[in-house]
Amino acid sequence: MIEQDSTELRTDARRNVDRIREAAVEVFREEGFSASLDEVASRAGVSRATIFNRFGGRAGLIDAVIDAVVASELRGIIDDARSASGVKVRIRGYISAIRDIQYRIPAVNDVLLQEFPESGELMALCHRGSRFHDELVAEGCAEGVLSSSFAAKDFHELVLDNAAVLKHRGRPSRPDYDRRTEFVLNGILR
């Protein structure tokens, strides 16, 4: 990432960096990380070239704002699931929360689909989630909450299938989406 320490920047340049960050958070939360950088620049009141000069491009901008866009919420979902008592409650809570955030924040689906592998922060977040999926499935199978034939890959694919549908086909009505979440949960949990 090209972004300089904000103490080294002129006041106007520092203001531009702050406006770009704020605009990127808004646009990426609304449209996902594949949103137009022209839209980010327009909302920030800067040129697209300024984004490249300050952040090096899309990956650098994603790395600079991913925490505000999705990472803190995703980490919170994992932490909440880890602290719940009972693996069935953890799995149910985690899947419900992941599906909820996938519906609300399109950028989550870009993380899960690893749409921008050049973003180190995005990939690190994705790998953290994958490790947690593996833990949940191993624990769920060991305790008989999940079928012994249900594998970590199945869990990953359920999440990825949902991400791909939401990204490429759009969001269904919320009641329909929540009903389908229950189908998923009732289909995999014993």
If DSSP states are collapsed to H, E and C, what string results for 3-37? Answer: CCCHHHCCHHHHHHHHHHHHHHHHHHHHHCCCCCH
- Please list the helix, strand and coil fractions of the chain in percent, rounded to the nearest 5, in that order: 75, 0, 20
* Residue 166: both structure tokens together: 């939401």
Total domain count, the chain: 2
pLDDT of residue 8: 62
pTM value is 0.86
Residue 33 is assigned to a structural domain of this protein? yes
Assess contact for 44 and 54: CB atoms under 8 A.
Answer: no
Please give the biggest Cα pair distance in the chain: 60
CA distance 140 to 108: 24
The answer on 176 and 117 residing in a single domain is yes
The answer on 135 and 49 residing in a single domain is no
Query: DSSP character for 144?
Result: T
> Residue 57: phi, psi to the nearest 5?
125, -165
The answer on 34 and 73 residing in a single domain is no
3-state secondary structure (DSSP) of residue 150: coil
The answer on 25 and 92 residing in a single domain is no
CA distance 18 to 155: 38
Cα of 136 vs its chain's centroid, Å:
19
CATH number reported for the structural domain that contains residue 109 in this entry: 1.10.357
Per-residue pLDDT of the chain (190 residues; tens, 9 = 90+): 455 554 566 788 789 999 999 999 999 999 999 999 999 999 999 999 999 999 999 999 999 999 999 999 999 999 999 999 999 999 999 999 999 999 999 999 999 999 999 999 999 998 999 999 999 999 999 999 998 889 999 999 999 999 999 999 988 999 999 999 999 988 888 8
Question: Which range of residues forms the domain containing residue 23?
Answer: 6-61
Assess contact for 188 and 146: CB atoms under 8 A.
Answer: yes
pLDDT of residue 9: 63
CA distance 6 to 3: 8
pLDDT of residue 11: 82
Residue 1 is assigned to a structural domain of this protein? no
The one-letter code for the residue type at 53 is N
The answer on 183 and 139 residing in a single domain is yes
Assess contact for 43 and 27: CB atoms under 8 A.
Answer: yes
The answer on 87 and 25 residing in a single domain is no
CATH number reported for the structural domain that contains residue 20 in this entry: 1.10.10.60
